[in-house]
Structure 1
Amino acid sequence: MAPPPPTSQPVPPPDPLPASRRSRVPPFAVMQIVAAANERRAAGADVLSLCVGEPAGGAPAVVRRRAAELVEHADLGYTEAAGLPALRHAIAGHYARWYGLDLDPRWVVVTTGSSGAFVLAFLAAFEHGDRVALARPGYPAYANILRALGCEVVDLPCGAAQRYQPTTAQLDALDRPPAGLLVASPANPTGTMLDAAALDALAAWSAAHGTRLISDEIYHGLTYAGPDGRRPPLTTAARHPDAVVVSSFSKYWAMTGWRLGWLVLPDALVDAVDALAGNIALSPPALPQHAALAAFSEEAYAAAEAAVARYADARALLLDRLPALGWSHVAPADGAFYLYADVSASGLDSVTWCARLLDEAGVALTPGTDFDPADGHRWVRLSFAVAPEVLSAALDRIEAWQATIGVAPDTGTTP
């Protein structure tokens, strides 16, 4: 008689393979606030959102009409990896219109949002292990993308004394020049800007030290300071031939979900970025590219300027209400559509402050921990890219709520 077959033993499942170390970047806290606000809305609650950097109103009507025509009639296949040639020429024309700059369209690369632009720029400009300096507080994706690509981030803590922007003195104090310096003007979350002297000084320092200057200009066009109510924009593309400029259709033209941005590159990086773009994404999305040609029409510029006027009205209202809010430390809101404010007088950290404000008053703001891991527990970011009446109602709620937690008005507040 044959022996019975051996009893099979269950094989334990293997341990799951972990995510890469490079992918372990922190999530955006703002998205947690957005999710909580959406959950409240779904349950029937009234929520006023001042937490997301998204312009109210959406794309200009002429862009929407063109997109509808394209969906109906166009062949929306792949474009060139660097973008539709007609759109690259139109972007170059925009630089002539705004900055008086004669820009070779070859230096323009269209990207999948400014986020895609940063990935391509960092890959083309920096080696693994390179050190890149940037201001803190700042947009968190800068540091997170750089770290995911193997770069070392050098924080430059920037406070009120330097208007929340980096300085050459800070760069001189580093043990050695970094491979890159990233600046943003207007900046997120502070809204502060670099004037011509400061920008030229940073550009000159970068050129003298072999540092690649990358300039985030996605909020260009959204400026409020100056005697005529608008400060003429300054582009680094006109001031430093080796700089990389990042821009986007998302903010001035309110085309956030269209996911379309661009780079202005020095000639030495054009071929590298073109090759990277073709391998990473083949091409930017075709429909937004073709529709974005209409963004450079007079109708679209007029619509964008009307939106900027609404943001300016909302900004003026917010600055008028600062004393009643009791926020005595705020960043100068020169541009973009943000106010960065210190709420530590409440006795609450910013994450708790924002969570309670949403839960108890139905207003969503962003905690500063997204933008500053060291000091952001004291700060919150408010987006005023909303209708003035929405902002006014939200500020009424914030004032009333703060009174319940013991925050008094500050008659000494100055914008």
Structure 2
Amino acid sequence: MALKIGRGAEAPPFLVMDVITAANAKAATLAPGDPGVIRMEVGQPGTGVPRGAAEAAIRALQAGDPMGYTEAFGRRSLRERIAQHYAERYGVPVPADRVAVTVGASGAFPLAFLAAFDPGDAVAMAAPFYPPYANILTALGMRPVLLPCGSETRWQPTVAMLEAMDPRPAGLILASPCNPAGTMLPPEEFAAIAEWCGTNGVRLVSDEIYHGLTYGAVPETTAAAIPGAIVVNSFSKYFSMTGWRIGWLVLPEDLVRPVECLAQNLFISAPHVAQVTAEAAFGCREELEANIARYRRSRAGLLQALPQAGFDRLSPADGAFYLWADIGHLANDSIEFCRRMLAEAGIAATPGVDFDRDRGRRFLRFSYCGPEADMAAAPGRLAAWLGR
């Protein structure tokens, strides 16, 4: 008799991780002197942990800190520093008691979803979208409901789309800046969507992990928008700490204790050493802002040079470090196109089907947070590959 396999085993792959594996395999085959693989597939800053933060971790280890379990919501000093961050950056008072330190944003989403929604609940999100939103919801028995968005709405949802939903969803996931397009909601549209959620009893989950990585307007935080909203953030992107697996939630009062109980049982606590490092990272603003300047230069160079290489249908990229490219004039299968681009041009990018299952075969996502020299070299290599 065959053994039962659980529903969670049916979760589709997060394709960018498969691309990472393929790019690593390609790099391993290169001979000395061969052109290297240009990594534009993953949103992993090439800058690394800020120096002052790394030194804080070294000092703690050398001092013999046992690095044991912390409270489920994290070290009190880190929670207080995150609360201070909201006062400094947004002018928003956030009590430290409503801050939960998590195992990255990836660990924050299951906690938020389990506390806020029940199996069978519908949770809306824009398409294209960050794949784990839908994959985690599905694994938990919830129903992701996709709102197809296009360039006419800057790849973001609108109140009109939400009004057309019948019945209303239990929740809405909003990301501004968003992944994969890097676009932001104008303040008035952000406020209108937040108000709609509050009026209609829809739990708003705001993914703010790309806050700080913007090239114009400063994004709004849902921590100030409506009661009941959940904020997800991370030290991975702006703070350049991907492998440290450290993030946070700002929770409404009604979810503080439920999320704490879930965190105690699912994760115990975020890594102690990562919490020490994250707290110190707040003191590294000069280095972090220098990283933004680097991304800004790479973004400007790619927006200018990629159209000449044949990629002339790009998202505006207000923030984050991604370009969402329509390649419908070049190919109708982004998976195969990205496979060939890696094999023949040595450039790794993520096929659009990772972010939009219905329309993604004519799109791909370029990430430009890698080494600046690589980002400058990529358009020329692509142009040669496409015969431009």
- TM surpasses 0.5: yes
Structure 1 position 18, deviation (Å): 4.0
Structure 1 position 37, deviation (Å): 1.2
Q: Is contact 1:168-1:202 (8 Å) kept?
A: yes
Q: How does 1:111-122 map to 2 (within 5 A)?
A: 111-122=102-113
2:121 aligned residue (130, 149, 153) = 130
Quote the RMSD (CA, aligned, Å).
1.1
| 2:234 counterpart residue number | 248
Structure 1 position 293, deviation (Å): 1.3
Residues in 2 aligned to 1:294 and 1:138: alpha-carbon distance in whole angstroms: 32
Judge which range, 322-331 or 154-163, deviates more: 322-331
- CA-to-aligned-CA distance 1:155-184 (integer Å, 9 cap, x gap): 100101111001110111111110000000
Residue 63, structure 1, aligned to residue 53, structure 2? yes
Residue 310, structure 1, aligned to residue 294, structure 2? yes
Residue 342, structure 1, aligned to residue 332, structure 2? no
Q: Which amino acid aligns with 2:385?
A: W
| 1:47 counterpart residue number | 37
- Normalised by the length of structure 2, the TM-score is 0.97
Residue 271, structure 1, aligned to residue 262, structure 2? no
Q: How does 1:143-222 map to 2 (within 5 A)?
A: 143-222=134-213
How many residue pairs were aligned? 383
Residues in 2 aligned to 1:188 and 1:18: alpha-carbon distance in whole angstroms: 35
Residues in 1 aligned to 2:167 and 2:251: alpha-carbon distance in whole angstroms: 25
Structure 1 position 329, deviation (Å): 2.2
| 2:248 counterpart residue number | 262
Q: Is contact 1:317-1:388 (8 Å) kept?
A: no
Residue 72, structure 1, aligned to residue 72, structure 2? no
Residues in 1 aligned to 2:185 and 2:368: alpha-carbon distance in whole angstroms: 21
Residue 27, structure 1, aligned to residue 13, structure 2? yes
Q: Is contact 2:198-2:227 (8 Å) kept?
A: no
SS in 2 for 1:153: strand
Residues in 2 aligned to 1:399 and 1:358: alpha-carbon distance in whole angstroms: 14
SS in 2 for 1:346: coil
Q: How does 1:367-382 map to 2 (within 5 A)?
A: 367-382=351-366
Residues in 1 aligned to 2:308 and 2:57: alpha-carbon distance in whole angstroms: 45
Task: Work out the percentage of aligned pairs sharing the same amino acid.
Answer: 50
Structure 1 position 328, deviation (Å): 3.1
- CA-to-aligned-CA distance 1:351-408 (integer Å, 9 cap, x gap): 11101011111111110010000000000000000233211212111111112xxxx6
SS in 1 for 2:264: helix
1:326 aligned residue (303, 310, 323) = 310
Residues in 2 aligned to 1:294 and 1:28: alpha-carbon distance in whole angstroms: 31
Residues in 1 aligned to 2:78 and 2:134: alpha-carbon distance in whole angstroms: 30
Q: Which amino acid aligns with 1:52?
A: V
SS in 1 for 2:206: strand
Structure 1 position 348, deviation (Å): 4.2
Residues in 1 aligned to 2:309 and 2:171: alpha-carbon distance in whole angstroms: 39
Q: Which amino acid aligns with 1:385?
A: C
Residues in 2 aligned to 1:20 and 1:347: alpha-carbon distance in whole angstroms: 37
SS in 2 for 1:381: strand
SS in 2 for 1:110: strand
| 1:286 counterpart residue number | 272
SS in 2 for 1:97: helix
Structure 1 position 128, deviation (Å): 1.1
Q: Is contact 1:98-1:233 (8 Å) kept?
A: no
- Runs of 5+ in structure 2 lacking a partner? none
Judge which range, 55-64 or 33-42, deviates more: 33-42
SS in 2 for 1:178: coil
Larger radius of gyration: 1
Q: Which amino acid aligns with 2:177?
A: P
Q: Which amino acid aligns with 2:92?
A: L
| 2:380 counterpart residue number | 396
| 1:234 counterpart residue number | 220
Q: Is contact 2:68-2:272 (8 Å) kept?
A: yes
Q: Is contact 1:70-1:291 (8 Å) kept?
A: no
Q: Is contact 2:230-2:252 (8 Å) kept?
A: yes
- CA-to-aligned-CA distance 1:207-259 (integer Å, 9 cap, x gap): 1110000000000000002xxxxx22310111112110000000001000000
| 2:90 counterpart residue number | 99
Residues in 1 aligned to 2:372 and 2:308: alpha-carbon distance in whole angstroms: 17
- Normalised by the length of structure 1, the TM-score is 0.90
Q: Which amino acid aligns with 2:15?
A: A
Structure 1 position 23, deviation (Å): 2.6
- CA-to-aligned-CA distance 1:236-294 (integer Å, 9 cap, x gap): 11111211000000000100000000000111110111111011111111110122111
SS in 2 for 1:382: strand
Residues in 2 aligned to 1:367 and 1:311: alpha-carbon distance in whole angstroms: 22
